[in-house]
Amino acid sequence: MASKPISSGRGGDGRIAFLLLVVPLGLLAATLIVPMVSAITISLRDIRVIGSDGPFAGLDNYARVLGDGTFWHALGISVVWVVGNAVVQTILALTAALVLNEKFPGVRVARVWIILTWIIPTVVVVIIWRWLLSPSGGMVNPLLIQLGIIDRPMGFFASGPAAMTSLILINSWRWFPFVAIMLLAGLQRIPNDIYEAAAVDGAGAIARFRAITWPLLQPTLLVLTVMGTLLSFNVFDIIWLLTAGGPAGGTETLPVLIYETAFKAYRMGDAAAMSVVASVLMIGLALVLLDRLAPKETAR
Amino acid sequence: MRFKGHALAGALALTVFGALPALAVTDVKIWHMEQPPHRVQRVQELIDAFNAANPDIKVSQEPQSWGEVYAKVPAAMAAGNAPDILFAIPDFTTVIRKAGQLDSVADFVKELDAQHHFIPATVEPYSYDGGVWAVPLYNMSLNFWYHKKMFADAGIAVPTTWSEWKAAAEKLSKDGVVGVGLPANKQLYTDQTTYAVMVNNGASELFNADGTLRFDNPKTVESYAFYKDLYKFSSPDAANWTWGEAEACFASETCASILQFSVISTYDQQGGGDAADLGVAAVPHADGEKNSSTIAYSNAAIILAKDAAKRDAAKKFIAFLLEPENYGKFLNMEPGLFLPVTTDGAKSETFWSDPLVVKYKPQVEQMIANSHAGMLFGFTGGHVFPAIGPISAQNILAETLQKVVISGEDPAAAVKAGQAQMIEATK
């Protein structure tokens, strides 16, 4: 006897699908659309302190923000931050995933061990790295001096470039395991017989990587690139806790600038205008990435 | 039969007491920025004592960070979730006053003054626009702290002028030791050290008497240029420092000297605690100046509560703190850092009998002496300039310093840009 289907008619399926969609769509509306509409509304008014009111300003806030070098400087810093993280995390994660895809004693432990940095709370990561990198009492400076790389303690957050490099490395250290696990899942979906056939044809390890691994990892890499770009762009906590955008604005990404404008300069209208512009940029970038990086249908 | 009688009596008692109205308790929430655990603990001890003596009031504390509080309080006020008592400093009070409707506490301060006699300079920064906006609680002043032995070994006398200070910093900077720990973070601590240098070069006034800005002047430029010279002998990570990092540097003897309000507690716990080796002096002054000055200001309590019962309860708690017996304990939540704002508090037995105060009595007396020559940006020359609020909130003094010492900008150009930024901030 055949088992009875969960829903016997198209109408029933449609109703269930509708009900299942209503809840997430309602939540999306509440948590995404409402704040966005609110941000757009605030961006059109000259509101200073949060919670206060202000006169209608039209597009004045947008004109002021876009005409101010600070916004473009922060956008430039954000680009450096996103690209730096993408490059470093991809290299680290791909290397780790390729190693973890091999069979060696302890590989199971290694696969669990690697995610530890990812599950540590941001505040703890910040405390660990501030202590490690401190010129007075930290462990990294004495190590570098002993190795002869530097001759005196250096400040890892003493200048804009140094602070940005340190931040990218720390953030990558934290997040590359997540990317590595995703890539590992992608690697394990590649059928082994393709590698065996290539080996029979005399393909070496590099040739197998270029002809098989890299192309077949593209869908996973696409998802990670889009997700990583959006997530990296919006990172606030680790930057704020380690450098607060300093020194001298050297790590002041757009989210940090928006926070400072809203809550330190008390210019909610300007901050909202920046947020709207940033959202438009991110949506545009995500669409471009999806279009450019998505595998194209081969013409028949 | 006997059991039955007891049961009846018990039931009767339950009925009677159950029928009594529950004692109404007024909750009072305090936000302060004294985050170190031992300070939180001391405040809690005082709260517990107060709550025990006043069962109709329940005071609780929620420590906050100076880094976030400028953002958090206006947001909390807008959300209707503000504390009932907020600890503040003068410039922060101007921000809070602008963000919400504050009620003057002039009458309450007058009442407290009659009992405890406030030092007038501690009330002045909170008195303007026809009201008094906060109750002074404790005073602080920035000092020059140094390791006596390091200076003696190097054959250096305690500097009193800028040229002596620079020479000392240079001579002491060797073998992994930095001559002077100075911050360059875009944060309140750097605002304070920068201003401490400025006031020692006759650049204490940020405003003209009419309220226009006069930050951009040759004395300020000279002060920033000198800070840049001195910063070469600071720690490589000083661009990220707040007060704690400076104290740690001093306690670990990596810094031969620092500018700090007090180091006594950390020095005693982490720096060996040799009272004879701990030196404190006035911040050195420019060679053309005659006397040293410093940044000093009183911290105070703002009553944000609107509800009459909560306001009364908040006043009762503040009055409790200022009672000499409690006040000494309160000030000694960080012995040596917090100085009295009342005449009877300055004589409080509980203040002077604290073991750390006894041990470091000469240092504490020197700090009190230094505080007499203290000033605060935006509250100088007998004027109060509420426009200082947004300038301080955005740390423009510190941001200008970063341009000079980190980005290598010309001090004159950076100060000019700083003034333009201040004008924009106060629009």
Please judge whether B402 and A260 are an interchain contact, meaning their C-beta atoms are less than 8 angstroms apart: no
Same domain, A225 and A270: yes
pLDDT of residue A141: 92
Contacts A–B by Cβ distance under 8 A: 104
Confidence band (pLDDT; 50, 70, 90) for A299? very low
Are B236 and A49 in contact (CB < 8 Å)? no
Is pLDDT above 70 for A296? no
| Nearest residue on chain B to A142, alpha-carbon basis | B176
Residue B62 pairs in a beta bridge with B31
Interface of A with B in 46-105 (CB under 8 A): 49-52
Q: What does the H/E/C string look like for chain B?
A: CHHHHHHHHHHHHHHHHHHCCCCCCEEEEEEECCCCHHHHHHHHHHHHHHHHHCCCEEEEEEECCHHHHHHHHHHHHHCCCCCCEEEECHHHHHHHHHHCCCCCCHHHHHHHHHHHCECHHHHHHHEECCEECCEEEEEEECEEEEEHHHHHHCCCCCCCEHHHHHHHHHHHCCCCCECCECCCCCCHHHHHHHHHHHHCCCCCCCECCCCCECCCCHHHHHHHHHHHHHHCCCCCCHHHCCHHHHHHHHHCCCECEEEECCCHHHHHHHCCCCHHHEEEECCCECCCCCCCCEEEEEEEEEECCCCHHHHHHHHHHHHHHHCHHHHHHHHCCCCCCCECCEHHHHCCHHHHCCHHHHHCHHHHHHHHHHHCCEECCCCCCCCCCCCHHHHHHCCHHHHHHHHHHCCCCCHHHHHHHHHHHHHHHCC
Boundaries of domain holding A11: 7-43
The CATH number that applies at residue A106 is 1.10.3720.10
Using a CB–CB cutoff of 8 Å, tell me whether A139 touches chain B.
no
Higher local confidence (pLDDT), B46 or A205: B46
B359 lies in some domain: yes
Residue A50 in any domain: the answer is no
Q: How many domains does chain B have?
A: 2
Does residue B3 lie within any of the structural domains?
A: no
β-strand pairing of B85-88 with B57-63 = unpaired
Asked if the structure places residue A53 within a domain, the reply is no
**Do residues A199 and A287 both lie within one domain?**
yes
A208 and A117, same structural domain? yes
pLDDT score at A261? 94
Please report whether residue B261 resides in a domain. yes
Same domain as A37, residue A175: no
Same domain, B251 and B154: yes
Q: What is the pLDDT of residue A258?
A: 97
| Averages of pLDDT over each 10 residues, chain B, 427 residues | 51 49 84 94 97 97 89 87 95 86 94 95 91 96 97 97 98 94 95 97 94 96 98 94 92 96 92 94 96 94 96 98 96 90 93 94 92 89 86 94 96 98 91
Task: Note whether B390 contacts A: Cβ–Cβ < 8 A.
Answer: yes
Q: A136 and B254 in contact by Cβ < 8 A?
A: yes
pLDDT band at A62 (very low <50, low <70, confident <90, very high): very high
- Give A72-133 as a 3 state SS string: HHHHHHHHHHHHHHHHHHHHHHHHHHHHHCCCCCCHHHHHHHCCHHHHCCHHHHHHHHHHHH
Q: Which residue of A has its CA nearest to B96?
A: A49
Whether B172 and B288 share a structural domain: yes
State which residue of chain A sits closest to B405, comparing Cα positions.
A248
- Indicate if B86 and B127 belong to the same structural domain: yes
- Residues B276, B235, single domain; the answer is yes
Report yes or no on A298 lying in a domain. no
Q: Is residue A240 part of a domain?
A: yes
Share of chain A above pLDDT 70, in %: 94
Cα–Cα distance measured from residue A160 to residue A164, given in angstroms and rounded to the nearest whole number: 6
The verdict on B214 and B76 lying in the same domain is no
- For residue B86, the cross-strand partners are B31, B302
B115 touches chain A (CB under 8 A): no
B88 and B45, same structural domain?
A: yes
The enclosing H or E element of A268 equals helix A268-293
Q: Are residues A11 and A138 in the same domain?
A: no
Closest CA of chain B from A227, distance in Å: 29
Chain B residues within 8 A of A156 when measuring between CB atoms:
237
Tell me if B7 is assigned to some domain: no
Give me the CATH number covering residue B358.
3.40.190.10
| Nearest in space to B230 (alpha carbons), one of B190, B287, B170, B293 | B170
If asked whether residues B64 and B193 sit together in one domain, one would say: no
For residue A178, tell me if it sits in a domain.
yes
Q: Is the entire prediction scored with pTM above 0.90?
A: no
Contacts of A249 in chain B (CB under 8 A): 402
For residue A9, what pLDDT is reported? 52
Q: Is residue B11 part of a domain?
A: no
Q: Distance (Å) from the C-alpha of residue B281 to the closest C-alpha of chain A? A: 24
Contacting residues of A for B77, CB less than 8 Å apart: 51
Residue B84 lies in a domain: yes
Neighbours of B53 (CB within 10 A): 10
Q: A135 vs B240: CB contact, 8 Å cut-off?
A: no
The complex's ipTM works out to: 0.79
Backbone angles phi, psi at B390, to 5 degrees: -65, -30
Of the residues A266, A267, A268, A270, the best mutation for testing chain B's interface (the one with the most B CB atoms within 10 Å of its CB) is A266
Best probe of the A interface among B406, B407, B426, by most A CBs < 10 A, is B406
For range A226-235, the mean pLDDT: 91
**pLDDT of amino acid B17:** 47
The range of the structural domain enclosing residue B352 comes to 26-139+297-369
Task: Give the whole-angstrom CA distance, residue A156 versus residue A276.
Answer: 33
Q: Answer yes or no: do A35 and A87 share one domain.
A: no
In a domain, A133, yes or no: yes
Same domain, B385 and B359: no
Provide the number of structural domains found in chain A: 2
Give the 3-state secondary structure of residue A56.
Answer: strand
Question: Omega before A247 cis (within 30°)?
Answer: yes
pLDDT one-digit tens code per residue, A104-128: 999 989 988 888 888 899 999 999 9
Does B262 lie in the same domain as B236? yes
CA B162 to chain centre: 25
**Cα angle B197-B202-B208, degrees, rounded to a multiple of 5:** 115
pLDDT class of A6 with cuts at 50, 70, 90:
very low
Mean pLDDT of chain A: 89
The per-residue pLDDT for A286 is 87
How far is Cα B84 from Cα B391, in angstroms, rounded to an integer? 26
Chain B residues lying within 8 Å of A248, measured CB to CB? 186, 399, 402-403, 406-407
A-chain residues near B74 (CB < 8 A): 49-51, 263, 266
- The arithmetic mean of pLDDT across residues A88-101, rounded, is 94
- B235 to chain A, any CB pair closer than 8 A? The answer is yes
Regarding whether A263 and A154 lie in a shared domain, the answer is yes
Q: Is A244 on the interface with B (CB under 8 A)?
A: yes
The predicted model gives A46-54 an average pLDDT of: 84
Q: Is A201 within the bounds of a domain?
A: yes
The distance in angstroms from the start CA to the end CA of chain A is 45
Task: Report yes or no on B152 lying in a domain.
Answer: yes
> Is there a single domain that holds both residue A34 and residue A73?
no
Q: Are residues A157 and A31 in the same domain?
A: no
- Kindly state the DSSP code that residue A44 receives in the 8-state scheme: T
Are B159 and B80 in the same domain?
Answer: no
In a domain, A280, yes or no: yes
Asked whether residue A86 falls in the same domain as residue A185, the answer is yes
Based on the fold, state whether residues B249 and B108 are members of the same structural domain. Answer: no
Report pLDDT digits (tens) over A131-182.
999 887 789 999 999 999 998 889 999 999 999 999 999 999 999 999 999 9
Judged by CB atoms closer than 8 Å, whether chains meet at B79 and A51 is answered as yes
Decide if A254 contacts A75 (C-beta within 8 A). Answer: yes
Do the Cβ atoms of B240 and A136 come within 8 Å? no
Q: What pLDDT does residue B372 have?
A: 83
* Shortest CA gap A245–chain B (Å): 9
Domain boundary among B350, B369, B388: B369
d(CA B94, CA B125): 10
B18 is a domain residue:
no
| Min Cα separation B345/chain A (Å) | 35
Same structural domain, B212 and B349: no
If asked whether residues A245 and A131 sit together in one domain, one would say: yes
